[in-house]
Amino acid sequence: MKVLITGAGGQLGGALQRQAPSHAEITAIDVDDVDLTDAAMLSAKLDAESPDLIINAAAYTAVDKAESDEELAQAINADAVLLMANAMERQGGKLVHVSTDFVFDGTSSKPYRPDDQRAPISVYGRTKAAGEDHLRNADLLVRTAWVYEAGGANFVRTMIRLMNERDTLGVVADQIGSPTWASGLAQTIWGLVDAGATGTYHHTDDGSISWHEFAVAIAQDAQELGLIKDIPTINPITTADYPTPASRPAYSVLDCSATLETLKTTPVHWRENLRKMLKEEAALG
Q: Tens digit of pLDDT for each residue in 207-222?
A: 999 999 999 999 999 9
- What fold does the segment set 2-145+178-204+253-263 form as a domain? Rossmann fold (3.40.50)
Q: Is 251 a catalytic residue?
A: no
**Ranges in the chain, pLDDT < 50:** none
**pTM of the predicted model over 0.75:** yes
Averaged pLDDT of the chain: 97
Q: Read off the pLDDT of residues 47-87 as tens digits, 9 standing for 90 and up.
A: 999 999 999 999 999 999 999 999 999 999 999 999 999 99
Which of these is catalytic: 60, 124, 148, 201? 124
Three-class DSSP labels, the chain: CEEEEECCCCHHHHHHHHHCCCCCEEEEECCCCCCCCCHHHHHHHHHHHCCCEEEECCCCCCCCHHHHCHHHHHHHHHHHHHHHHHHHHHHCCEEEEEEEHHHCCCCCCCCECCCCCCCCCCHHHHHHHHHHCCCCCCCEEEEECCEECCCCCCHHHHHHHHHHHCCEEEEECCCEECCEEHHHHHHHHHHHHHCCCCEEEECCCECCEEHHHHHHHHHHHHHHCCCCCCCCEEEEECHHHCCCCCCCCCECCECCHHHHHHHCCCCCEHHHHHHHHHHHHHHHC
